[in-house]
Every structure is written in C-alpha cells, then in structure tokens.
Structure 1
Amino acid sequence: MNPSTAQARVLVDELVRNGLRHAVVCPGSRNAPLSFALHEAAEAGRLTLHVRVDERSGGFLALGLAARSAVPTLVTCTSGTAAANLHPAVVEADRAGVPLVVLTADRPPELRAAGASQVIDQDRLYGPAVRLYDELSVAERRAGQVAYWRAQACRAWQAALGQGWAGPVHLNLPFREPLVPGGDADWPEPLDGRPGGARWTEVVAPGGAARVLRPTARRGLLLAAEGDARAAAAWAERHGWPLLAETGGAGFGGPNAISAGMWLLGVDEFLRRHRPDQVVCLGRPTVFRQVARLLADEGVEVLLVHRDTAGWPNPAHRVAQVGASLGEPTEPGDPAWLAAWQQAGKQAAVAVHAALDAENWPTGPHLARALVDALPPDALLVIGSSNPTRDVALAARARPDVRVLRNRGVAGIDGTVSTAVGATLAHGGPGYALLGDLTFLHDGNGLLIPPGEPRPDLAVVVFNDSGGGIFSLLEQGAAEHEAAFERVFGTPHDVDLAALCAAHRVPHTLAGDPDTLRAALRPAPGLRVVEVRGRRDGLRALHARLRSAVAAALA
C-alpha cells in the first residue's frame, strides 16, 4: 500500500469512529487519496457521500448538512483555487458556530518549492476563522505514523465540536504520488484503530458548571436570534416574559411569543411607553435596526446568552452580563407588562395583515406570508439574507411547528441554495427555501447535482424583482440618490430563471397568482424551483404604509 492511500484511509476511518455521517467530495487529482477512502467508506455503509464539482457550492452543502444535524460534516478538495473557494463557507461556519472538518490536499514541500501547478500558500489559509489548523507531515512508508494520524483526526473532530461553541477546523494534507490505490495491503505497522470501533482519543468534557444568567427585571424582553426555539418559548411562558424573535412567528410559538414584535420595536411612541428594564438576547441579533436601537438605549440593561463565552459579540458594546445558558430569574415577570405586549402584538398583527390584504399581489411580504402558511408540519424553512429574512419576520403568521435555518453568521448571500440542499438532506423531511433572485443566481451551481447523488425534497421559492430590492429600503433608496441607484445598487438583470432550471433539469413553476402558488407549494419529491415575479420600485412606499398601519393601530 502506498503512503498517501494509507494515510487517507486511516484519517477517514478515525473520523467515522468519531461520528462522521456526511462527507462532501469536490473532485481533484491531489485529493484523490481522500476521495477513494471516502468512496470506500460510503460503499461500506459507514457514511453518506456527496459529490460536487464546484467547491463553493460543496462548502455550503457541507455547511447546511452540519447546521441542521449539529454534527461535523467533512468537505475535501484539491489544492490551489479549489481550497480558496471554500473560504466563504468557512467564515460563515465560524461566525455561526457550525462544525465543519475541512481537508485540503496540497503538494508536498519539494513540489511547492519547484513552483508546481495548482500551488498557493495554504498554510493557515482561513486565518483565525478556524478552531484548529494543522498541516500533517507527508506520509512515508515507515512505522510510527498511524497513532499520529488517528490522534490528529480526534483532535480536529473535538475542536470542530468546540467547548460549547462549534466551528470549522482545517487540516492541510500534502500528498506525494502515487495518489491512487495500488499494490497489496502490506504496511509496516497495523492500520487498525482501537478495538470495538472506539475513538483513538476520548475527550472528557472539562468540569465546572457553565455560567448561567439569572435576569432580575420584572419588565423584560426575551429576544431570540439563535438557539432552541422551543426552549425559548417554554422559558418565556414559565417566567412571564414577552418573547420576540428575529424570525417573527416562523419557528416560534406559545402564548408569550409576539409574532409582530419587530413591528412593535419600530413604533417609537409605543416603545417609549413600554421600554423594558432588561433585554435578554439569545444569540447575536443581526437583522433589524430597531433592535440595534433598543440595545443601545442606556436605560435598558442587556444580557447575552451565547455559546462562545470567550469571543462573544457585544451589541452596542453595552452587554452587562454574558452566560452560556439562561437560568431562573430572581422574580417572575410582571403580568400587566406581559399582557400589554401581548395585546399590542395582536393589534399590530391584525393591522399588518389587513394592510397587506389591501396591497396589490405580489410583494415580498405577500410571498413570505403565503409560504409560511403553506408549510407542512415539521417542514424545514431556509431563509435567505436581505429582504426574505425581513419579509418572514414582518409578515409571517405564527408557525411553531416548523424549523427555521438562516446563514446569519456573516449574513451573506453566498451558497444559500447549496445550504438549503444540505440542510434538507440532513432534515430528513420536506424542505423549503425563500430567496431573492440575486441570492438564487449567486449560487446557481447549487442546482448542479450529479446523477446518482442524494437529492433533497426541496422547493426553492424565488421572489424575482430583478435586482437588489433590499437597497430600496436603505439610505441608498432615497429619492435624492435616484440617478445612481438603479445601476450600482438595483443591479437589474434579465436572466431567464426557467431556462437556467431547464439547463439543470430542475422543474420550474412560474406562480403568477396565489392559487398557482399554493398548488406549487404542496409537498412533492425532489428538487424544484418556484418563481414569483414582482416589482421593487414601490417597496419603500409599501413598508411606509405598513408601518403607518401598525402605528395607527397602537395609537
């Protein structure tokens, strides 16, 4: 057996022993030893293998698999630009706390020095975005290496899981030729791992209880940006706190969940009368400016529950306490305070939906509401960045029976189709994704699934308003910037999404009315795209009318 094959087989075996379930291979020559080893493990039923020709899509596929399963997923590629194309998925995994094991193949030192093809400096390629980096020594035909390979595989796995804060790890593997299996199975020492399939190194969790936060206010708000939605709803109900979520009613429920909470935070007069004494943030809020304003209020104490209690975020630099979990408050919430928020939430929701019903169909909020209403129980909803995540939070009705996933680590539009594919495969049930047209086009290669590869039961729902609608709601969308807006912010396109889908043999439906949309959203096997076309030139005015309707209802 040649050294590259031996090393790759041992690494894959040890990672499987640690719990590896899914692996993504991006084909290349230099990572051939890993590709062969992963294929053998898949054929033996030890893991599920996914193959993607585009490394960026492959990285986000792995991200989606890991985000939904909470188990590290492996992704491997060859050297050079292939490794660089994994970087967007790595930084998202870093900021979102998603466990990834990234194995990049490399040339051995003598080929790097010779200026060989496909060589870049891959040492610490992803910088501080990884929990662990190591370059393994080049495998040689001698005894004394198997323990080292297995120990490093265990180290990488545990680093990906983290101590409460998971994330990506990077092993750079310089392989010498031959890169394909050949010869007999002879090797200078046994390649076997520990008996009974045990890990080479078992890591015992460090002792000591993680810091628990105990709120002290009777008039508080629980603001959920990440984490376990059901646990948040149960805590809020048990202790009498209003619960507001960055996803509105999608994924959250219970009597204390205020699905119109983001609208309430945007009404200054209401907030002046109902300013909380404490806000407990579950995770890092990233979407709404009204949330940022609340957390910057000097009269509001901010507590943060975050798994990374060493590198925690600090909204408005005003976090008073950080803890890994949320414990019992020192006293129960004020019933009158809770009732006021519940009543206002109901009034705001009625006003929003009545105002939306009076608007011409379709708009982004129309589509978000219709999609969330149509989701089957226990469905997965992946929400794209920019307008879709806002539309769901502002227009969707309460659906606590669905699972929501968003790439909010760095909140980019990269790889969202591939993330949805991976997450749906890990979910094991029907999946839906709500994306804008630019997000969809940015990861068109996410539709490129080779024949025979696992395919999700996923409906990708695209609101196509021909460009960057989010900028219409920002400062750039003001009338005084009209001359420059369309070219450098609106970025219109005339891409035929149906033709793009046809090129990938992915079914496409153009939903031109609500009835067609409802029919297209019914659960169905396989990957499909549902397109709804709208306009963005009236988006700024639409949101102004919806805000006015909410403010009037609360006056």
Structure 2
Amino acid sequence: MNGSTAQARVLVDELVRAGVTDAVLCPGSRNAPPALALARAEELGLVGLHVRTDERAAGFLALGLSLASGRPVPVVVTSGTAVANLHPAVLEAAHAGVPLLALTADRPPELVGTGASQTIAQSGLFGPAVRWSGSLAVPGAVTDAEVRRWRATVARVLAAAAGTGSGAPGPVHLDLPYTEPLVPETEDAAPGSDLLGPGVPPGRDGGEPWTAVPPPVRSLPPLPLDPAARTLVIAGSGGPAADPARLGGAPLVAEPSSGWWPHALRSGPWLLDRPELRPSQVVVLGRPTLHRAVAALLADPAVAVHADPGPHGAPWTDVPGTVRAVGSLPHLTPPDDWTWAWSAADRTAAKALDTALDDGTADGAPGLRLARDLVRAQPDGGQLVLGSSNPVRDVALAAAPRDGLVVRANRGVAGIDGTVSTAAGAALAHDGPTTLLLGDLTLLHDTTGLVGGGPAEPDPDLTVVVLDDDGGGIFHLLEQGGPEHAHAFERVFGTPTGVDLLGLARATGWAAADWTGDPAELAAWPGSGRRLVRVAAARSGLRDAHAALRRTVAAALA
C-alpha cells in the first residue's frame, strides 16, 4: 500500500476511535487520499460523510455539525485557495469555542515556491486563529514507527481542539502534504470489511484511541461579590451552564443564543436604561454582544462588574475594562424590593410591547413581530438558528423566552457569511426539526449553502425564513441611518440587490413560497425537508418604528 493511502486511512481510523462521527469533504485531486478513506469509512458505517462543492460553505457546515453535536468535526479540502476559503469558519470557531478540524491536503514542501500549480504556503495560514497548527510528514514507507507517530499526532490535534491544557476549545489546522500516487493500488481500492487494509498496523485493541486524553476539568472560585446587593445578571453566548436557582430571583437579561435565555426577562433589553432599575453590581455570564444599552451599563464606573466566563477556559468579556473579578456565579440573595421592581417593570413593558406589535405602532419594523410569532410557532424539541444583524436582535427585543427550543447563532465573530450552511449542519446533527431566521443579504452571502451536496446527501428538516427587505436593514438603526446621511445611504449601506429569492431557492432544489401570514408556516417539522419562506418587507420605516416603540415602553413604565 502506498504511503498516502495508508496515512489517510490511519488518520480516519484514529478520528473514528476518538469519537468523531461526522466529516465534511470537498472534492479535489490532492486530497484524494483522505477523500477515499472517508468514503470507505462511510461504507463501513463508521462515519457520516457530508460532501460539499464549496469550501467556505463546507467549513460552516462542519461548524454547525459541531455546534449541535458537541463533537469535533473535520472538514477536508484540497490545496491552494481551497484552504483559504475555510478562514471565515475557522475565525468563527475560534471566537465561539467550537472544535473544528481543518484538514488540508498539500503539495510536498519542496514544491512550495517553485511555481507548482495550486500550491501556496499553507502551513500557519490561519495564524493565531487556531489552537494548534502543524503537519504530518510526507508519508513514505509504512512502518510501525510511522503509524504510531500519525496516531499520536491525531490525539494531539483532538486534544487541542477540545481545549485540553490550552484554554478554550476551538479550531485546529492539520496540513497533509501528499506525494503521488494519490489513490490506492487496485487491490487496496476494492471494498472490504477493514478500513486500514493489509500491511497497515492496527490501532489499540477494542477500538480505543491511541492516546487516551481526559476531557478538561476546570472550576473557578465563587466571585467575591455581595450576594445580597442589587444585582443584575447579563448572559451572552457561551458561559456557564444555566442554573437559575443561583439567581435567587435576581433579574436576568439574556441573549437568545445563551443557555440562560429561557429563564430571562421578556423585556429586559428595553429596561436597561431605566434609572430606578440601575443595579449596584452586574455579573456577566459568557459573552454578550447584542445591545448597546448593555455596553453602556458595563462601562458605568458606578456599577461593580464581575464576570463568569464559564468552565471552558474562554477569556472573560470586558470591552470597557471595568471587570473587577473573574469567577463562578455564587448563589445570589438580592433584596425583595429589587426583584419585585424588575418583575413589575418587565410585566408592564411586555404588555406595552405586545400591544404595540399588534396595533400597528411597530409596522415599520416588521422583523420584531415576525420574531415574536416565529419563536412562538416552533415545536417543542425544535432548534432555531438566528442570522446576525437584525434577526437575532429582533428575537432578543420582541420574542418571549421559552423552554423546549434550542437557539443557536454565530456570535463568535457575528458575521453574516456561512449562516445557511451553519444551520444545515446544526439541523443534520439535531434530533428534531430546525428553523433558520435570517435576512436577504445574509442568505445571499451563502448562496452555495442553498445548493447543499446533491441528491446523494441527506436533506435536513430545515425551514429558512428570510425577511426580504432588499438590503441592509440594520444600518437604518445605526448612526449612518440618520437623515443627514440619506443622500448616500442606499448606495453604500442599503445596497439593494433585487434578487428573486424564491427563484433562487427553487433553482437549488428548495420548496419556496411567500408567507401567507399563517404562523404555522414559520416552523419546521419532522419530514419537512428543505423549505424557504419569504417574508416581504420594507425597511424605510425601521428607524422611526424603533423610536416609537421606545417611547411606548417608556410611557407605560412612567
């Protein structure tokens, strides 16, 4: 057996032994050895293989698979610019703490810099974004010593992805330089009951990984705060596992992608600037990124800020430099009048918000009502993936937190690329249907994510709900959306495209239709397959509608 084939089969065998259940592959010539090894492993029922033709979409598909499964997922690509197209997903995985394995085929080192086709300097390409970066040696003779090194390297790669001994989980990069021949000899290519084939030393007996690496166990001491003080808890993505008993009734403002969201106040983001509700201390769980009112509160020098980044070794969030201590959330015992004031304000604001969403006050911000109704419509056991920009904020501002629904979002870097592919990966790894809420520009950023992998690939039960306001709605709510910039707004911020999203979806094999207004159309269900629901909207009234809602909530609280 040639060295490239043997090394690739050992690599896949060791990944399977370590618990990898899914892999994503893009077609190419130089990555033929791992491609054929993965195909053989799939035939043997050892791994679920997902084939995609676009590397950027493949990277985010692997990201979504890892997000929903909690397991490391490799994405295997050929050499050259194929590797560079993984960079957006690698960056998201780095900042979100997702164990993504970038396995990149390469030319042998002596060809780099010689003008060889499809050859770049791949080693170290991802820089500090990866937890570990290295390469296997160009495979030569298949010896016991070489196979041991290959297996030991795989163990080190997986440990780095899991964050063992080196901080938070995250992406890793293993470069795989191969020389020809890139395909197995005839007898080695034939299907069989053994992944490795004759002449390749096996791994540990019993299917155990070559090097047993225990999962990281980390604990933080309790935060040195006054548990009886007027405490507000703010939760973002990541952070410690939800334990509402620790709150002792303290008000909780949580972003939808936080595991704490089901226990949060409905209208918390609308109440953060109320003087009568100003806390004396704040505990930040995970990494909140959505609300400017949160940023302003954390920057207030009169408020004592503490952080609990969770047990995975992630850095604590401290944009304004105000965090006084890092530790674990202790049991809080806030004053009764404090918890009552927040609860009463939340009930009042929520009632005013719902009334405004239903009476036309918020018609200029259709995404808010859509977000509220969409969250309500999801079945128990479902999964909701939220696009960046307005959709995740609309859910945070308008939807009622609820149990029975897993909510995910790419909040590591909060980009809009790869969102369809992330949702598809999460759907394939989730035991239940998935709905994705996103905007039209976010959809267009991942058009190849709509393509999927072709008729041989499994279809997820994924309903994509796209708010089509033909452009960048979020910019209406920022400084550049002010009237003084109206002369240039549409050209450089609004950026309408005029794309027929229903035609695009149908051309790539999706069932697609305009929303009729029935909330049931906003949810996926088992066996629903790939569906796209387009919600047509205008964005010109966004700024005024949000201002009107703020006035309405403030008036109700007054």
Q: TM-score normalised to the size of structure 1? A: 0.94
- Provide the residue aligned with 1:319 in structure 2: 323
Is 1:260 equivalent to 2:267 in the alignment?
yes
From 227, 235, 252, give the equivalent of 1:224.
Answer: 235
Structure 2 unaligned spans of 5+: 189-195
Distance 1:232 1:208 in 2: 17
Q: Cα distance, 1:191 vs. partner? A: 2.3
Distance 1:145 1:234 in 2: 53
From 256, 273, 281, give the equivalent of 1:247.
Answer: 256
Is 1:285 equivalent to 2:274 in the alignment?
no
Which residue identity lines up with residue 199 of structure 1 in the other structure? P
- Provide the residue aligned with 1:14 in structure 2: 14
- The worse-fitting range, judged by mean Cα deviation, of 289-298 and 222-231 is 222-231
Q: Cα distance, 1:276 vs. partner? A: 1.0
The 3-state SS of whatever aligns with 2:112 is helix
* Equivalent residues of 2:102, 2:172 under 8 A apart: yes
Distance 1:119 1:149 in 2: 24
- The worse-fitting range, judged by mean Cα deviation, of 163-172 and 364-373 is 163-172
Change (3 A) 1:208 1:44: closer
Change (3 A) 1:434 1:396: same
Q: Cα distance, 1:536 vs. partner? A: 0.5
- Provide the residue aligned with 1:437 in structure 2: 440
Cα displacement string for residues 314-367 of structure 1 (whole angstroms, at most 9, x for unaligned residues): 2311111123x43334xx121211111011011111111111112248711111
Distance 1:56 1:260 in 2: 37
Q: Cα distance, 1:206 vs. partner? A: 6.7
Is 1:468 equivalent to 2:469 in the alignment?
no
Is 1:128 equivalent to 2:128 in the alignment?
yes
From 174, 179, 192, give the equivalent of 2:177.
Answer: 174
Change (3 A) 1:499 1:304: same
Which residue identity lines up with residue 518 of structure 1 in the other structure? A
Distance 2:286 2:218 in 1: 22
Q: How many residues align?
A: 542
- Provide the residue aligned with 1:165 in structure 2: 168
The 3-state SS of whatever aligns with 1:380 is strand
Change (3 A) 1:333 1:118: same
Which residue identity lines up with residue 226 of structure 2 in the other structure? T
Distance 2:54 2:317 in 1: 32
Distance 2:240 2:353 in 1: 24
- Provide the residue aligned with 1:155 in structure 2: 156
* Equivalent residues of 1:107, 1:174 under 8 A apart: yes
Q: Cα distance, 1:519 vs. partner? A: 3.6
Q: Cα distance, 1:521 vs. partner? A: 3.3
* Equivalent residues of 1:459, 1:529 under 8 A apart: yes
Q: TM-score normalised to the size of structure 2? A: 0.93
From 392, 408, 416, give the equivalent of 2:395.
Answer: 392
* Equivalent residues of 1:436, 1:462 under 8 A apart: yes
From 518, 521, 531, give the equivalent of 2:523.
Answer: 521
Q: Matches of residues 73-112 of structure 1 in structure 2 within 5 Å?
A: 73-112=73-112
Q: Cα distance, 1:274 vs. partner? A: 1.8
- The worse-fitting range, judged by mean Cα deviation, of 209-218 and 310-319 is 209-218
* Equivalent residues of 2:381, 2:405 under 8 A apart: yes
From 371, 374, 395, give the equivalent of 2:374.
Answer: 371
- Provide the residue aligned with 2:206 in structure 1: 196
* Equivalent residues of 2:383, 2:432 under 8 A apart: yes
Q: Cα distance, 1:311 vs. partner? A: 3.9
Distance 1:176 1:384 in 2: 42
- Provide the residue aligned with 1:498 in structure 2: 502
* Equivalent residues of 2:160, 2:169 under 8 A apart: yes
Distance 2:354 2:2 in 1: 66
- Provide the residue aligned with 1:453 in structure 2: 457
Distance 2:291 2:354 in 1: 20
* Equivalent residues of 1:248, 1:259 under 8 A apart: no
Is 1:423 equivalent to 2:430 in the alignment?
no
Which residue identity lines up with residue 40 of structure 1 in the other structure? R
* Equivalent residues of 2:241, 2:259 under 8 A apart: no
Change (3 A) 1:232 1:180: same
Distance 2:147 2:530 in 1: 42
Q: Cα distance, 1:250 vs. partner? A: 9.6
Q: Cα distance, 1:173 vs. partner? A: 0.6
Q: Cα distance, 1:110 vs. partner? A: 2.6
Q: Percent identity?
A: 53
Change (3 A) 1:378 1:214: farther
- Provide the residue aligned with 2:192 in structure 1: none
Q: Cα distance, 1:29 vs. partner? A: 0.5
Q: Cα distance, 1:227 vs. partner? A: 3.7
* Equivalent residues of 2:386, 2:438 under 8 A apart: yes
- Provide the residue aligned with 1:235 in structure 2: 246
Change (3 A) 1:279 1:432: same
Which residue identity lines up with residue 370 of structure 1 in the other structure? D
Change (3 A) 1:301 1:194: same
Cα displacement string for residues 384-412 of structure 1 (whole angstroms, at most 9, x for unaligned residues): 00000110011112322211001000000
- Provide the residue aligned with 1:276 in structure 2: 279
Q: Cα distance, 1:502 vs. partner? A: 1.5
* RMSD value, Cα: 2.1
Distance 2:258 2:74 in 1: 33
Distance 1:466 1:168 in 2: 34
Distance 1:206 1:250 in 2: 21
* Equivalent residues of 1:431, 1:457 under 8 A apart: yes
Is 1:485 equivalent to 2:486 in the alignment?
no
Distance 2:199 2:258 in 1: 58
- The worse-fitting range, judged by mean Cα deviation, of 462-471 and 366-375 is 366-375
* Equivalent residues of 2:237, 2:259 under 8 A apart: no
Distance 1:207 1:502 in 2: 48
Structure 1 unaligned spans of 5+: none
Q: Cα distance, 1:302 vs. partner? A: 1.3
Q: Cα distance, 1:424 vs. partner? A: 1.0
* Equivalent residues of 1:464, 1:534 under 8 A apart: yes
The 3-state SS of whatever aligns with 2:262 is coil
The 3-state SS of whatever aligns with 1:279 is strand
Change (3 A) 1:350 1:310: closer
The 3-state SS of whatever aligns with 1:216 is coil
Q: Cα distance, 1:312 vs. partner? A: 3.4
Q: Cα distance, 1:545 vs. partner? A: 0.6
Change (3 A) 1:150 1:439: same
Q: Cα distance, 1:114 vs. partner? A: 2.8
- The worse-fitting range, judged by mean Cα deviation, of 184-193 and 310-319 is 184-193
Change (3 A) 1:207 1:407: closer
Q: Matches of residues 535-550 of structure 1 in structure 2 within 5 Å?
A: 535-550=538-553
